[in-house]
Structure 1
């Protein structure tokens, strides 16, 4: 019997219009970094999220690295960061010789707990050890509760950097997450809600910050007829070809959000009656894009644990993935402190991300639902 087609967690979804922009780059010989598509993509993206300035870069990780540099982070500094996230949120802190301090999640949005952050900043202020920055991650297409976090950072004069890699298209009280702090960073990796195959965007309301980050991202070349360098720089610019792909993708962002929310609605209707299975809720402060549909499994009520369900899906050639393993549990970060951690640990232990791509058909979703229902009550 032939194996059924693979259902991926979150595959790229192209429109067909990307080829026009890529062909234009080829026809004009703008295939190297920089070029008219890069400049246009920056303008269009800034307009989409409501930020005055944007810088297209080679990855979201590169954008975070630049944002941390602009915040003044350096060797020996401490940076508070969400523990429930992907390692790319933390690695740039370590690139700079700084020390991550992890903050637990709250259960409403699964993002950084504002109360824990406030307590930690207050404690550090008393002993004169405020962090150099806070990196707030917006997970799975849902914004964190930004207002109390931004207020706490402002109170203690600690720069706020937003990792919105997973939250393009989401809203927080009508605004785009990623536009509240000193800088925000987005990702266009192949699994994101829109993709350039690889790439990212740094945004900020601070023109000087973006201009300096632009210089650093272009090997920190000083204005001169020869190659002159007074700072260490990086090769972090996005190519004109990839920016062309991004321009086409950006035009269908709202369609992609709608498709992923439809996936979630179908899952909820088809699986909402199962004991021991619950969905990540949409927080009351904004729109959840449902970049990934995430469920929590209570093994006693459901009849199987999260890993058994994942393996059952895998046996049917369906990709699913556990919720992020908290950073404070990762071997590479085990020596760094964590404030709390129990919520993130529980979400990891019980959480599973179901296939959520915007190109999924109803037949694809029915296959997933069938496996989940058969796995329940075992």
Structure 2
């Protein structure tokens, strides 16, 4: 049987092992440590921000970000609807309520016009959201300027969920660096990984100091263990930070590899009837963390699910685009704005194997299977 081709696997080299070995050699196995400090500093240099705090996951980073901007029980928080559930779960951790905003077709990210209209309506009734979570999906930046302008008008903090977009740019600047706080993820499937980990970034030093304080169980400055507020066990380990440092050194290589995957797919499949790839907006560079496309079943000859299942039979992993959060059973009682675009993308969208360690033969195997599906259905 053919070797499985997975969607997005970790891509580890030799540099990571050198940093991990250093942690073992110095016996710095506990959470925090010199690799954590260095990882934060090096990450700031790469993305162009002032301060960073390394934590145990992107979800933990987002939880802290919401707490840092003052979200409390009963508050409302606007959030992109076309995203993984981790973008909204932390809202509920704090007892707040998410309100989901639809996507636009240009970026697949939050629609700036819908956000502005929604904020205007909330302002008229005196019930503005406490924060806005903007997700940069699949390595593609949202159209940040009009979103930030709308938030600034009403003095609402913008939190950028850049978990999927490390290395992506908007008008020459890294995603995650425009809002009050940005968060990143280093989960095993991301463009670089620490196996599990995350990062908060901000130009506000006090916010990041507070983030580190909360992430280390909110321990007060005292020779004994004293706590004046509730904290969390969210700090990244020194070993995992070592992996992150090695991964960060090859970030551009990983981006180039994933963009190459996209170009190969687009060249081979882009002219097929009914196939439309996720566009790259003209205001920045997408990393193509995942290569995503939509399928018009009437013109292609098969729908998204038929293609996915046919690929699965050949040991090729492909996944539907994220199911919009306003359609998730757990958020059935939450409000949402529009949703038509996100629902269309979910119903027709497919993510293809996109790892930076894919080889030519694996890409060709995926392509040949999709071509075969099309030929079988149309002839």
Which consecutive unaligned segments of at least 5 residues does structure 2 have? none
1: CA distance, partners of 2:91 / 2:54: 20
2:88 counterpart residue number: 90
1:309 counterpart residue number: 307
1: CA distance, partners of 2:132 / 2:113: 14
The partner residue of 1:239 within 237, 248, 260 is 237
Q: Does the alignment pair 1:147 with 2:145? A: yes
1: CA distance, partners of 2:152 / 2:372: 50
1:325 counterpart residue number: 323
> How many residues are treated as equivalent by the alignment?
376
1:277 counterpart residue number: 275
What CA deviation, in whole Å up to 9, does each residue of 1:36-83 have, x standing for no partner? 000000000011000100000000000000000011000000000000
| Alignment TM-score, normalising by the size of structure 2 | 0.99
Deviation of the 1:221 alpha carbon: 0.1
Deviation of the 1:376 alpha carbon: 1.1
The partner residue of 1:65 within 63, 85, 97 is 63
What CA deviation, in whole Å up to 9, does each residue of 1:274-299 have, x standing for no partner? 10111011001100100000010000
1:359 counterpart residue number: 357
Deviation of the 1:325 alpha carbon: 0.1
RMSD: 0.5
Deviation of the 1:356 alpha carbon: 0.3
Deviation of the 1:326 alpha carbon: 0.1
Deviation of the 1:242 alpha carbon: 0.1
Name the SS of the counterpart of 2:243 in structure 1: helix
1:189-208 superposed matches below 5 A? 189-208=187-206
Name the SS of the counterpart of 2:160 in structure 1: strand
1:97-176 superposed matches below 5 A? 97-176=95-174
What CA deviation, in whole Å up to 9, does each residue of 1:9-56 have, x standing for no partner? 000001121111111000000011011000000000011000100000
1:36 counterpart residue number: 34
Deviation of the 1:89 alpha carbon: 0.2
Name the SS of the counterpart of 1:246 in structure 2: helix
Which consecutive unaligned segments of at least 5 residues does structure 1 have? none
1: CA distance, partners of 2:162 / 2:120: 26
Name the SS of the counterpart of 1:140 in structure 2: helix
1: CA distance, partners of 2:140 / 2:270: 20
2:257 counterpart residue number: 259
Moved over 6 A (4+): none
